Structure 1
Amino acid sequence: MDRRDFLRIASWAGLTCVMPAVVDPLRATAQTSATGYSGTYWIFMHAGGGWDPTHLCDPKGRTNENENDPMGRFLKSDIRTAGNINYAPLGGDMTALDAFFQNHYQRLLVINGMDTGTNGHDQGTRGTWSGRTAEGHPPIGALIAATHGPNLPMPLIGYGGYLDTQGVTNAVPLGDGGLLHNLAHPSRPDPTGSEDNYFGHPDIPAVVQREQQLRLLRIQGQQRLPRIWAGQNELMLARLGQDDLKRVSDSLPDEFADGQLQRQIQVALAAYSAGLSVSVSVSRGGFDTHGNHDQNHLPNLIDFVNAAEFAMQEAERMGIADKVAVVMGSDFGRTPGYNGGNGKDHWPISSMMMMGPGIPGNRVIGGTDDRHGPLLIDPTTLAVQGPPDTSQGTRLGIEHVHRALRDLAGVPDSFKAAYPLAGEDLPIFV
């Protein structure tokens, strides 16, 4: 059978691997995995449960140890600074966040005083990652993936966070690196070793795959039941996808990090390095601390920020740091002060942190008062104006951030019209 006959029969059989890309009208131009993706890689990091910006990038603290109802138990005089960015003095020696902020402040943008518009976990997670708390909007990572790689095998890698893509693309869950090695090289006794002990010649795997394709076409040529067709097609596509897994496997590091979040980031960066992925959503829980806030919340916050530091270190090691964007956010913030159980409850005012191509660094947009109430900003200069009851300006919301993110990432007007956002455009990335 020559190549032309093979393509004709395969197209008739419904094999999407050989058909021209069929793209949803809302999607951008299709891109096959053969061409690969080499644009900005977006890492979206979700702090599940509602983080406390007053112990991170919008630090408050207390004036002295005798202060009643303090915002935090560190002293205001101990608040640390990296360039124009203030951050909380966490850890026993107050330097637990130093590595991240001191290493990256020149490219880091902090958005404080951002109104999520909700105290609910589901609504807050949707809002922070889609720009709208109501159901029906995909996350920004899905819109970016659908824009720049709708036909890639793993356009959006979904480990956690908000993953309701609304069908614009697929959120592909991947295992850890060791599992990927096994899936990519099932013929190897040692997944990181050689296939020489199994195949006598390096061309044999390709011959086996070709024979599998031809066998499927013969079977489907005799089959008239659509459901069986579909099942056979899915089996074939799964086998063909093994080549993509091999490309990811070959890009994985020799050793994996201990933390789950770090391992997920390693796999995602390997998928990007192989040209197969546009974005990833990762998540870490443990932030909904209604009791014993400092003991439970702050260690998780340190680990979360350290994972972002790890992502940039790994990108540097791979030589792709200039192409990686990291965006951090959470459901919402935590209430001012502590409750009766030394915890903090839900609060709609939050922060986001981000860095990457096109994102101006060493900059803070927005702000809050001493009790973490939002301050209005000038919509043109973004300068903080003051509290809503005495000032004129714009109340910074999640919709403003996402309007700017969509523009920065090149999300087309068709998506913007299908999933509209409230608010006006603000020069957040100008």
Structure 2
Amino acid sequence: MALSRRKMLLGGLGAASAGLFGLGRSARAEGERPAKNLIMILVYGGWDVTYALDPKPGLSTIDVPAGAIETLGGLPIFTHASRPATRSFFEAWGSSTTLVNGISVQSINHPDCTKRILTGTASETNPDAGAIAAFELAPDLPAPYLVLGPTAYTGPLASIAARTGTLTQVRGLMDPTLAFPRLDPTVPRFSPTEAETSMVAEYVKARAERERVTRGARGYNAKRIDDFVKSLDRGESLKGFSGAFGEEFAFTLDLRVQVDIALRAISEGLSHTVHLEQTFALWDTHSGNELQAPLFEDLMGALSLLATELASRPGKAAGSRLLDETVVAVVSEMSRTPKLNDAMGKDHWPVTSAMFFGGGIPGGRVLGATGENLEALAVDLATGTPTSEGTILQYSNLVAGLLGAVGVDSEAYLPNAEPFHALIG
């Protein structure tokens, strides 16, 4: 008899994918790259890559904004005086950044594309790259996978994730008083004593052990109980960070605030992977595509802050920077159509781009390519060079390559996807 999810407070552990729990750290890439932190930034809604990342001026087949191609840090970037933050980022960090163009997501539906660009699969029951990296490389941290937005996929690895989002789960764990809402402001808030808190913890663990004896000695139930008990310990360890972070785990759309939380979470040993997000359809410019310009400016300003701070903070290894030990991946689940529609906007397009920097990933490179109709061109997955003898770069190849870049062997999670080897040079 399977334990109920309500009884054990463990959602998201689908039986069909429970076998992933047996992976442990076996998926660590042996003899390859050392483990890296991961900061994943999702630009939700679909960016127009022609605004900066994949310039297409002078083509009758593609409508582009005002601007010109400028080589910054070895990268061809589309710039304009009205977009100074874009120019500033690539001027400072282009030589440390890899652009990947021509990524096929094979859909124009937001949820489907998001699942694909984050998990490398078409299923929301599979974990995304952030969850996999945290589970494989640092499962014992207080919050191995810190999620600062609503769109992330943990699948069977849910026990290692801590969400802020609209639920503010992390704040609740850090401040136990939030677990006891005060419905009447005239009545003092209930606050358990240390002895009462200890009694509750002992009761919960004892109940878990009773369930283990009666129904959870082996298999799926046993794994649920193990992860439940581990999550209790991680919840306790989170409380030690409450003084340092205070109210900062409240949900926010401000990417700069998310950047600050991510930096502190990684540098102070709270998390290994952090998911950041620009969301709520701001980028989904079906009308007024010119709104992409200020959105790119906000994004590039936040990326400049992130890169500067990573470069200025020490890493764990002697003489290293946090930038050397952290891979930053910036993705959007789709792009925009080549041509403007009647509302002067652009609709969904199944080919997108991505940005990567830090963690030893070589910079000043453009990998992959698109054609004169913004279609994905075949590339050599080993070099990233366009070639008629290559293959279309799929979302699964990209995610498999990202896992390799942070030190995880993707074979255990994406067995049918050849990694985009070019990403790590």
**Fold conserved (TM > 0.5)?**
yes
Structure 1 residue 371: deviation in Å?
A: 2.8
Residue 56 (str. 1) matches residue 46 (str. 2): no
Give unpaired runs (5+ residues) of structure 1.
1-13, 15-22, 30-37, 188-207, 386-390
Structure 1 residue 383: deviation in Å?
A: 2.1
Choose from 127, 140, 145 the match for 1:156: 145
Asked if the contact 2:38–2:273 (Cα under 8 Å) also holds between the matched residues in 1, the reply is yes
Secondary structure of 1:25's partner?
helix
Moved over 4 A (4+): 178-187, 208-212, 214-227, 234-240, 251-254
Asked if the contact 1:62–1:73 (Cα under 8 Å) also holds between the matched residues in 2, the reply is no
Q: Distance in 2 between matches of 1:162 and 1:47?
A: 10
TM-score scaled by length of structure 2 = 0.72
* Pairing 1:22-421 to 2, within 5 Å after superposition: 24-28=21-25, 40-62=36-58, 70-75=62-67, 78-90=68-80, 92=82, 94-160=83-149, 162-169=151-158, 170-174=160-164, 212-213=197-198, 217=202, 241=235, 243-247=237-241, 249-250=243-244, 260-285=254-279, 286-294=282-290, 296-319=291-314, 320-385=322-387, 391-412=388-409, 416-421=411-416
What amino acid does structure 2 have at the position aligned with 1:79? I
What amino acid does structure 1 have at the position aligned with 2:128? P
Q: Distance in 1 between matches of 2:330 and 2:370?
A: 19
Distance 1:49 1:180, change over 3 A: closer
Q: Deviations over 1:213-271 (max 9, x none)?
A: 368548988999869xx9xxx999879845534336437899x9x97222122122222
Asked if the contact 2:105–2:117 (Cα under 8 Å) also holds between the matched residues in 1, the reply is yes
Asked if the contact 1:132–1:421 (Cα under 8 Å) also holds between the matched residues in 2, the reply is no
**Which sits farther off after the overlay, 110-119 or 394-403?**
394-403
Structure 1 residue 55: deviation in Å?
A: 0.8
Distance 1:106 1:168, change over 3 A: same
Asked if the contact 1:54–1:372 (Cα under 8 Å) also holds between the matched residues in 2, the reply is no
Partner of 1:197: none
Distance 1:57 1:347, change over 3 A: same
What amino acid does structure 1 have at the position aligned with 2:399? H
Q: Deviations over 1:91-130 (max 9, x none)?
A: 52x4231221111112101001111111111111111111
Coordinate RMSD, CA, aligned: 4.0
* Count of residue pairs brought into register by the alignment: 362
TM-score scaled by length of structure 1 = 0.72
Asked if the contact 1:359–1:429 (Cα under 8 Å) also holds between the matched residues in 2, the reply is yes
Structure 1 residue 283: deviation in Å?
A: 1.0
Q: Deviations over 1:149-183 (max 9, x none)?
A: 2232211111226422112243311379x998997
What amino acid does structure 1 have at the position aligned with 2:261? V
Asked if the contact 2:367–2:422 (Cα under 8 Å) also holds between the matched residues in 1, the reply is no
Q: Distance in 1 between matches of 2:157 and 2:417?
A: 21
